[in-house]
Chains A and B, each alone.
Chain A
Amino acid sequence: MKLRDSNEITTAASAAAIEDVSFKYAGGDREALREVSFELRPGEMVGIMGASGAGKSTLAKCLNRIVPRFEDGEFRGVVRIGGRILDGDRVCDVASMVGMVFQDFEAQLFSTNVTHEVAFAMEQVGLPRAEIAARIRPALADVGLAGFDDRDPTSLSGGEKQRLAIASVLALRPGVVVLDEPTSDLDPEGKTEVFALIRRMRDQGLSLIVIEHEAEELRSCDRIVLLREGGIVAHGPPGEVMTRLDLLEECGVHPPDMNRVIDLLGIEGHAASVDEAETMVRARFPRLPAMLDGPGAIARNSSSGPPAAAQPEPPLLRVEDLNFAYPFGPRVLDDVSIEIAAAEFLAIVGQNGSGKTTLAKQIVGLLAPTGGTITIAGRDRKNLSPAETAHEVGYVFQNPDHQIFAATVADEVAFGPRNFGLDSAEIASRAEEVLCAVNLAGDRDRDPFLLSKGERQRLAVASVLALRPRILILDEPTTGLDYREQRRMMALVGDLNRAGIAIVMITHTPWLVAEYARRVILMRKGRVMFDGGVREFFERDELLANSSFHPPEATKLGRRFGVTALRPEELAEWINLNHGRFHNR
């Protein structure tokens, strides 16, 4: 079955349209959407971009009546699906017309096996049993889950879960499919799987709306809508919107690396792929070398990369031959040996399940090794009390909401020091110090639950910092944050590192590794596959390809010219400098 039969494409002029829609959430202090008008044509794929709170999800939710039927508030305007005005319809009434896939894949799977999951929506709308049975297998095949029929959804990987959610939406054959940040919680492999599926859905003529933080992923859209504070600030083909780099940054969206490079080189236009960018750069700089580690390669200790540690220090942390397996389970860590020196900035990368978080939990003592040793500041971790461990190593969990509970920001930060029996003057002084460090000093009396996700993440860092650890482990510190919040978070982490704290950052985000880390550890199936400098890491094309870890696009583009650049500015600078050199030879 095709994802959508061509004769089913709606004959109406637009697959979906919203006209002058405004919405203010009950209790909200401003309108989440302000007189937004927008049309989705049949077979078109439209990308919606913007910072957190710009109104992206609210706009999407208007299309299937979650706004205003599920979310309370003041709604004005008209929404049409396939020419029909939605008025008085419940969310469930439009389920067959508009399919919606959410970011939280755990919260949209309800059944105990894959087949039942796909059948669920069809059962709800009352399709006959024979029709349900006929649609299940093709829907699973479409999303690449053929043969998964009897699997328990909880046993699937993140990418598979999200594809299952898409299959169950597609089985209803809706005219419009809305995907609200479908890859935010996925690892690189899951992201690749889901975006490959989205491109196939688009090729087969489905009308799609895709909401994303990362501009790069939306380059294949027909049109881009850029939102800021509930209003549309730019609207047009990707080539038009994605070349407005300053506007994208102002709106809290990460501008595509390749367009940044092209812009810095004074080339006008939009590169839709690395191939296109290479062609454009070579047209302007015809003498640039091909894939070779030529005389112009950026030196590994180049000053343009992230600043290197001042002096090699004796290791603060030493992990030797570490092994770990859960009872009756396979090995999660397999002979892992690493050392971490004071003031290092280390990124640990690898697919979900590769052992990254397990290694971190071993270091802080949440898990005990089945073999090997961990030495912190020269002492066996087994002999350290929780307080001693906490003063050496702090661990910030991926989701800040797993630790926030206090009534005020200041109380939240004071929790750790209080548990370790510090006196109140010391607690107050530390709280002040760390709240200043994370830029939350003005929010000390606020309710932590009313902070934004980025602020809550910084609060979680502050409450761990209050114990003054010498090593700080951050588990995916930027997940769920928009570009602006990610930058703010990483600026904080960079400052802490410069103040002498060793940073161990577990992440899936390539540009964070390239721009901030000085050393990378790549893990696969519980083993360390690579341990070395960042530039050296991104030179290992084959290793990266086998690990589904994609370098940032500026790095990919640089590799075409035989150079390993970590940032767009660095690549543009290198091209400008070296083109002349090649030209003069």
Chain B
Amino acid sequence: MPIYLYIDRGTLVHRLNPTVKVFALFIMFWSVYWVDHPLALLPLGLLLVALAQWTGSWPNFYRLRWLFILLIFFTTLAWMVFYRKGPALINIPFLHLSRAALVFGFGRGLKLAELLATSVLFLSTTKVEEFTAGLQRIGVPYRVGFAITLSFRLVPLFIDSALTVVQAQSLRGYDFNRGGPLERVKRYVPVVIPVFMGALRKANNMAMALEARGFGISATPTSYIDYPMLPRDRIAFAALIGLGTIYFLIYWFGYGAISVK
């Protein structure tokens, strides 16, 4: 399975300045934050669908399809427990199935799904190195940006290692699914210890290799790739500011909220 989500398609979105893409990430999160109603979230959803089509990112959405479905379904369900407004349509124990709860829950689910979709789209069109460069441009120190790059490399290594450990212990007759929830958590000790020890060793090797390649000699290393701010980046920047402003105004004038009748 490929480790990274990046899909090299070379579309205009792929070629945008990384700073603009990091800004786009922020603006999408900002816009989603201000509104709750599914109808207000719909245009953002449609925008994301169009961008997924344009950038050829569907394979990543397909990979994560169950996450999207479960996110929307369970968020909707969860808010039926906590959101008690509006008349109940049907009486079900523990759940408050009202139109308002459905709309609110679905809106929350959609919100989370849009945040996830934005992230998927961002990673589908942005190399990790560009992400780091983009962060650096907005003032994040190089080392912090590099740590983010590194984490993208490390997480799959650790997952791989954990899967091997689970296999090794299960062949020794270990049953991870015995007992109640607390017992089950405890039962992962024979996995956590080897993975943790392996991670420490790997981190030590990596730190050595990094210093041996000159990491740390300068707080602001040169960047092999230049990311100039082109006219298309300025246009995208302006459009994003426009989008962020519109969504703030929707909130300001009270259109994005859910009113309970």
Contacts and interface: CB of A to CB of B under 8 A. Distances in A.
A387 B165 CA distance: 18
Contacts of A461: none
Interface in A399-414: 399, 401-405
Which of B3, B168, B205 counts the most A-chain CB atoms under 10 A from its CB?
B168
A580 B190 CA distance: 62
Contacts of A439: none
B213 A121 contact: yes
Given A66-B208, A96-B214, A123 B224 contact: yes
A415 B222 CA distance: 52
Interface residues of A, number: 67
Contact of A397 (B150, B164, B209, B211): B164
A420 B224 contact: no
A95 B152 contact: no
A404 B157 CA distance: 18
Interface string B179-205: 000000000011101100110011001
B216 interface: yes
Contacts of B164: 397, 399, 402
Contact of B173 (A104, A150, A419): A419
Contacts of B205: 102, 104, 107-108
B53 interface: no
Given A107-B202, A112-B152, A366 B190 contact: no
A125 interface: yes
B215 interface: yes
A175 to B, nearest CB: 15
B160 to A, nearest CB: 10
Interface in B140-189: 149-150, 152-153, 156-157, 161, 164-165, 167-175, 189
Contact of B172 (A91, A120, A467): A467
B214 A128 contact: no
B32 to A, nearest CB: 28
Contact of A110 (B193, B210, B217): B210
A125 B214 contact: yes
User: Which residue, of B6, B172, B190, B206, has the highest number of chain A Cβ atoms within 10 A?
Assistant: B172
Interface in A138-169: 150, 152, 154-155, 168-169
A93 B218 CA distance: 10
Contacts of A364: 171
B127 interface: yes
Please tell me the size bucket of the interface on B. 35 or more
B54 interface: no
Given A387-B173, A395-B171, A416-B173, A129 B165 contact: no
B214 A402 contact: no
B127 A124 contact: no
B224 A132 contact: yes
Contacts of B201: 401
Contacts of B208: 66, 70, 91, 102
Interface string A372-395: 000000000000001100100011
A111 interface: yes
A402 B198 contact: yes
Contacts of B175: 419
Most interface-central of B129, B207, B209 (chain A CB within 10 A): B209
Contact of A154 (B3, B129, B198, B222): B3
A160 B224 CA distance: 22
A543 B205 CA distance: 38
B213 to A, nearest CB: 4
B173 A112 contact: no
A110 B164 CA distance: 22
A491 interface: no
A518 B49 CA distance: 61
Contact of B214 (A109, A150, A172): A172
Contact of B174 (A127, A154, A415): A415
B8 to A, nearest CB: 7
A506 to B, nearest CB: 15
A578 interface: no
A88 interface: no
A366 B169 CA distance: 11
Contacts of B209: 100, 102, 104, 107-108
Contacts of B211: 66, 70, 90-92, 95
B129 A397 contact: no
Contact of A132 (B128, B165, B222): B222
A405 B217 contact: no
Contacts of B174: 415, 419
A124 B190 contact: no
B217 A467 contact: no
Contact of A91 (B202, B212, B226): B212
Contact of B150 (A93, A110, A154, A464): A110
Given A104-B205, A107-B209, A124 B215 contact: yes
Nearest to A124: B214
B43 interface: no
A577 interface: no
B221 interface: yes
Contacts of B218: 124-126
Interface in A113-133: 113, 115-116, 119-129, 132-133
A168 to B, nearest CB: 7
Interface in A350-365: 361, 364
A150 B167 CA distance: 34
Given A92-B216, A402-B194, A108 B206 contact: yes
Nearest to A128: B222
Contacts of B171: 364, 366, 386, 390, 394-395, 464
B26 interface: no
Interface string B57-101: 000000000000000000000000000000000000000000000
Nearest to B131: A112
Contacts of A366: 167, 170-171
Contacts of B252: none
Contacts of B215: 92, 124
A457 interface: no
A392 B71 CA distance: 44
Given A95-B213, A123-B223, A132-B224, A404 B173 contact: no
Nearest to A65: B211
Contacts of B190: 405, 415
A90 B216 contact: yes
A133 B224 contact: yes
A58 interface: no
A113 B217 CA distance: 23
Contacts of B197: 401, 404, 449
A407 to B, nearest CB: 10
A106 interface: yes
B213 A405 contact: no
A123 B189 CA distance: 41
A81 B152 CA distance: 36
A328 B201 CA distance: 34
A66 B189 CA distance: 33
A124 B172 contact: no
A390 B172 contact: yes
9 contacts: A112-B6, A120-B213, A132-B222, A152-B2, A152-B3, A386-B171, A397-B164, A401-B198, A402-B194
Given A366-B167, A420-B173, 8 more contacts: A107-B209, A110-B150, A115-B224, A119-B224, A152-B2, A169-B213, A397-B167, A402-B198
